[in-house]
Structure 1
């Protein structure tokens, strides 16, 4: 993370809603998530229209990295499978 990303990470709430776009061959339990639902929808449907979005609530303490680059609001985190719900 660069300085701006670190500062943005520090400003995150203690509990964060995160999203992951899942396509045909994607793993719903990957480590790359986003804090932006629209970004997750884009990733879910970038190759075809059969994707879906999953959501999880996580503690800020579990965030490994937070990237603002490319406007993706990418969050790197290991989410327990039991916390993931399909929306």
Structure 2
């Protein structure tokens, strides 16, 4: 695993996301309706796994991305280097 000193620097700006989910039609960013909570799942091919959640009752919206590491707001290409 990469150390914090050897990790890529990343960036302060976040990736732009659409206003609403392409499939579910709900906003991707908070605030969410009262009574909803946020959950983070770790999965392999996250786009394929995300589909399962679209069909579950009570799911307001879904989004995929990377979690963990030292690099702030990494790009896909940076994650693929193993240095994030």
Greater RCO (CA < 8 Å, at least 6 residues apart): 2
Shorter-chain TM range is under 0.3
The answer to which structure has the higher helix fraction is 1
The two structures have a TM-score, normalised by structure 2, of 0.26
Decide which structure has the larger Cα Rg and report it: 2
Larger strand percent? 1
